[in-house]
Amino acid sequence: MEIAQSTVRTGDSARGAPRAVTVGADGARVVFLRSTGPHDEADSLWVLDTDSAEERRIADPTVLSAQRGGTTQRGATIDRYVTDPAARIAVFALAGRLWRADLVGGDVVEVPVVGTAVDARPDPTGERIAYVSDSDAADTATRPATTALGKLRVIHPDGRDTLLAGEAGDITWALPDPGAADFGRDRGYWWSADGQTILTARVDRSRLPRWRYADPAQPQQPGRTAPYPLCGGPVAEVTLHLLDLDGGWVDVHWDRETYPYLVSVDWSDGGPLITVLRRMQQHGLVLSIDPRTGETQVHAELADPRWVEPIPGTPCYLADGRVLVGGELAHDGYDARCLFADGTLLTPAALYVRRVVGRLPGRQTSPDLLIEASDGEPSEQHLYRVRTAASSGGLDAARVTSTPGWHVGAVGGDVLAVGSAALDQHGTRWTIWRGDTEIGVLRSLAALGPTAPRPALQRVTDRRLPAGVLYPQSHVDGRRLPVLLDLDGGPGRQQVRARRADWLGRQWWADAGFAVVAVDGRGTPGVAPSFEKVVHRRLADVLLADQVDALTALADKHPDLDLDQVVVRGTGFGGWLAGLAVLRRPDIFRAAVARAPIADWALLRAGYAERYLGAPETDGEIYPHHSLVAVAAEPLVGGDEPRPLLLVHPLDDDDVPVAHTLRLSAALLATGRPHTVLPVAAGTDPDSAAVRRAEREFLRQALGSIG
């Protein structure tokens, strides 16, 4: 099975491919990350000059890591970078050290910092650099031995490094709170356009319980603790403050008791805008902030009886001063995710808006928007130009990309970068456009995939569930195959997409002797809000029913699917659904591999669990109904044939701690249900070829020999 080793070594053919693409506001430069080839894990920083269409490598992490101490640091890579709006400079952290790259001249210099630096960001003028440090001491040699990240510091043009905000204990500044990831927010501070003020979050985590993490394979090493916003418990207290570089301080005011979740922040030319949500996420506000007083004004309300789902890239100010807001419309024939400007609808009913990319060149008062959206076919995503002019005379969204597939974009000035992927194409091809003229291509150094998967994508059942079937490359029609149901999706995440990269790993499983099936049941994005949100407080029943119904419908179209031999595999949310499948529907599913499964929703973060299941104190009966631990604890009834279950769990998993698998295993043992636990040692890749082979052999043994 050399394919397994090849796909793992090359990151499923992603290594060596351009990623993290940024276009400068003047359109002169396209910035991106890329390693030197398919077996190189270290991403370098690159620039393409749009006038010459020539690429330049700006920063090589292996060279930079060797500049202090004289030896190359193994594993050094540039994970992320941040530029000024014009993309004239970029800053990035490398093993706690801070670097500044001149993207015009090409010079890269290390910038001395206090302590360890993370999340470095230049101000919009490119003169100053802010970063988050683990120390507030001016001299790193005298800083306390026990420190924690969460101090906001600024480096000035003259080299001075000043502490702008920082406290001890469980107070952090300029970092996202522990639950921010559940809303897609990964930062905690924002520069003003003139580079004189920073809007920063202060997070008080003292009310949160602390979870302990340790590596059982290293008992001599001390464990660590981290605050965790447990479902049903307190959440972190998040406040916002405007700090100017001269020491001025203004608090931002909103009803934090009613709206504790800070979902998004944008500070563009029009001023700062924030989105805040209630605890149960069924109501939110879009607020503008007066930078002089910190007072807020309501620009829009967001409401949904299930949960509010803001559109990435919104809210923001348009050039004419109106506020762009993303929301959902479910009346007058609409069932779509739409864009509004001060309450005026901008996008047509058929369009499912996924993200606002930026402004396209054109009219200065009301430039068009570039968005990513789907129109009728959720497995595809395209780029659209949306008119924002108030007098445009109707809704207008013109498709920019023409070929089938999955398209993403980046824009700056008069330059558009388009990343296009498809089932008949290797990787994502990035083309650079100025107007209607293609001016360059970002070279991919990734390996060609070991296979060319050809999944059959279709819609099945009366609910038109998106689904895909993938056969072995050597499959001959008429040969019946056991079915592997792959569960890699769930609320907020699709798995049936028209991208070859999504099917490379599945092809290995197909070539191992399975017909691999993937189904986007209700709850996944891309179709319509009603399709996504029907799962509210009944995930288990709706999602499991959709998977079973889709299998039956697919077997009618694909007679080679043997529904007497169905196994299932999933990770995280998918691991929960895989476990649920064999526990609740052993008549359909013969065996399951549950990787890092959510065994008990009451052990999850509040922002994630409560969005879908409600509050444990008021919706308590819903949580046991969704708990694998509770289902596994139910006694076996005479005649029941329990199905084998393999639990694979990385011991250092922070997202779904190994406690989930341990509690599930105890419940399975108590009722005599067969299962196997495969712990993955800390630092070991849970997607390695060795782990995949172990999972394959488990499923083969459960089914008997499949040849």
**Could you please report the per-residue DSSP string of 516-528?**
EEEE--TT-SSS-
For residue 451, pLDDT over 90 is answered with: no
Query: How much is the average pLDDT of 535-541?
Result: 96
Asked, as a colleague might, if the bond just before 229 is cis with ω within 30 of 0, I would say no
C-alpha 418: how far from its chain's center?
A: 20
- pLDDT of 220 > 60? The answer is yes
pLDDT of residue 35: 96
Q: Taking residues 139-147, what's their average pLDDT?
A: 39
Q: Which residue has the higher pLDDT, 548 or 641?
A: 548
The confidence band for 257, taking pLDDT boundaries of 50, 70 and 90, is very high
CA 92/CA 95 separation, integer angstroms: 10
Residue with more model confidence, 613 or 334? 613
Cα(261)–Cα(177) distance, integer angstroms: 10
Is the pLDDT higher at 546 or at 75? 546
User: How far is residue 317 from each of residues 231, 340, 366, 373, measured CA to CA in Å?
Assistant: 34, 11, 11, 20
Amino acid at 365: T
pTM value is 0.93
- Separation CA 690–CA 678 (nearest Å): 12
- Helix (H) / strand (E) element for 250: namely strand 249-251
Give the pLDDT mean for 600-620.
93
Full strand arrangement of the beta sheet holding 369-374: 352-359, 369-374, 382-386, 397-399
Name the band, by pLDDT with cuts 50, 70 and 90, for residue 146: very low
Task: Give per-residue pLDDT as tens, 286-327.
Answer: 999 999 999 999 999 999 999 999 999 999 999 899 999 998
The sign of the CA dihedral 218, 219, 221, 225 is positive
Q: Inform me whether the pLDDT recorded for 36 exceeds 80.
A: yes
Q: In this structure, what DSSP letter does residue 28 have?
A: S
Residue 654 pLDDT exceeds 90: no
pLDDT at 170 over 50: yes
**What confidence category does residue 683 fall into, taking pLDDT thresholds of 50, 70 and 90?**
confident
Residue 26 has pLDDT above 70, yes or no: yes
Q: Convert the pLDDT of each residue in 396-408 to its tens digit.
A: 789 999 999 999 9
| pLDDT score at 138 | 52
Name the token pair of 349.
């009913």
Q: What is the DSSP letter of 169?
A: T
The CATH architecture annotation of domain 456-703 reads 3-Layer(aba) Sandwich (3.40)
**pLDDT surpasses 80 at 139:** no
Pair 239, 201: CB distance under 8 Å: yes
Q: Of all residues in the chain, what percent carry a pLDDT higher than 70?
A: 93
Degrees to nearest 5, angle at CA 394 with 390 and 395: 95
Per residue in 365-375, pLDDT (tens digit) is 678 999 999 99
- For residue 69, pLDDT over 60 is answered with no
Domain ranges in the chain are 456-703
The CA dihedral of 497, 503, 505, 511, to the nearest 10 degrees, is 150
- Grade residue 4 by pLDDT with cuts at 50, 70 and 90: very low
Task: Write down the residue that tokens 């003169």 correspond to.
Answer: 127
Provide the pLDDT for residue 365. Answer: 60
pLDDT surpassing 90 at residue 697? yes
So what's the pLDDT on residue 76?
A: 86
Task: Output the average pLDDT for the chain.
Answer: 91
Token pair for 523: 């709850």
157 by Cβ neighbours in 10 Å (0-12 / 13-18 / 19+) ranks as: exposed
Average pLDDT over residues 134-153: 61
Section 171-189 average pLDDT: 95
pLDDT of res. 467: 98
Question: Is the CB of residue 108 less than 8 Å from the CB of residue 101?
Answer: yes
Contacts of 363 (CB under 8 A, 6+ apart): 389
Q: Which residues pair with 274 in a beta bridge?
A: 265, 287
Q: Is the pLDDT of residue 395 over 80?
A: no
DSSP conformation letters of 613-643: H--TTTSTTHHHHT-HHHHHTSPPPTT--PP
Stretch among 1-10, 87-96, 230-239, 409-418 having the lowest mean pLDDT? 1-10
Position 195 pLDDT exceeds 60: yes
State yes or no: pLDDT of 246 exceeds 60: yes
Residue 689, SS3?
A: helix
Cβ-Cβ contacts under 8 Å for 302 (sequence gap 6 or more): 275, 277, 283, 284, 285, 286, 308, 310, 325, 327
| CB-based contact 143:115 (threshold 8 Å) | yes
Percent of the chain scoring above 90 in pLDDT:
80
Residue 416: name the closest of 371, 374, 364 by CA: 371
Residue with tokens 């043997």: 562
Residue 265 above 50 pLDDT? yes
489 band by pLDDT with thresholds 50, 70 and 90: confident
In which element (H, E) is residue 151 found?
A: strand 151-155
Task: Give the CA diameter of the chain.
Answer: 79
pLDDT in tens, 379-394: 999 999 999 886 555 5
Reading the block at residue 451, the tokens are 């296979």
pLDDT score at 494: 95
Render pLDDT for 318-353 as a digit per residue (tens, 0 to 9).
989 999 999 888 776 678 899 999 999 999 988 999
In this prediction, residue 137 carries a pLDDT of 61
Least confident segment among 230-234, 446-450, 569-573, 608-612? 446-450
